[in-house]
Amino acid sequence: EIVMTQSPATLSVSPGERATLSCRASQSVSSSLAWYQQKPGQAPRLLIYGASTRATGIPARFSGSGSGTEFTLTISSLQSEDFAVYYCQQYNIWPLALTFGGGTKVEIK
Amino acid sequence: EVQLVESGGGLVQPGRSLRLSCAASGFTFDDYAMHWVRQAPGKGLEWVSGVSWNSGFIAYADSVKGRFTISRDNAKNSLYLQMNSLRDEDTALYYCAKDSGSGVVGPTAVDSWGQGTLVTVSS
């Protein structure tokens, strides 16, 4: 089983500032890494796949980087609608399949 | 527009069974792998199970292996999750989720989600 570890658990940021979220895999997942945003009472939304490719309709202020075991999601200038919980997720061949990280909550400072 | 509508959740006693269904529309169902992902109250996301486009590949999280069975009916554009020997720790909102690929080699990112169906296991 591949374990995904996200840090920090909570990130306090002021609107307009940059937010940097980290995700570490227990073994290499190459670039098979996705990021999701989840707001209270809503289903998750895909932001990034392939470690760095933005999904359809995702603003350019969201960017992903990394490969192997270390990954980063950067939100360049936080907007009010960006305060949410963010999850990383690795995807692999069957039966390893999918694993989510524990999440990072981005809250207003 | 992709639509995924889950049903079948409810209150069930420990040790009993429940079957979840997901009705899919707005895309060619048999072109894509599908998953069940759950979220316990106030907790993070946990992948439960996934199935490739033609059911050739199926996988489960260790926490449900041997108790849950995923299946799909491409003729009915439907995904199912048979849950047996339910435990308190299975209490969660269960999401039906569409993979962005067919799952021929493995799953990829999940690009669409339903709104979830709540399963509560309690005596």
What are the counts of helices (DSSP H) followed by strands (DSSP E) for chain B? Answer: 0, 11
Contact with chain B for residue A62, Cβ under 8 A? no
Q: How confident is the model at residue A95 (pLDDT cuts 50, 70, 90)?
A: confident
Residues 6+ apart with CB under 8 A from B70: B36, B49, B50, B51, B58, B60, B79, B80, B81, B82
Q: What is the pLDDT of residue A93?
A: 77
Question: Is A109 exposed, middle or buried (CB count within 10 Å of its CB: 0-12, 13-18, 19+)?
Answer: exposed
pLDDT single digits (tens) B81-100: 999 999 999 999 999 999 99
Q: Which residue positions in chain B have pLDDT lower than 70?
A: none
Q: Select the residue of A43, A85, A103 nearest B114 (Cβ to Cβ).
A: A43
Helix (H) or strand (E) holding A35: strand A33-38
Q: Which residues of chain B have a CB within 8 Å of the CB of A50?
A: 109
CB contact under 8 A, A98 and B116: no
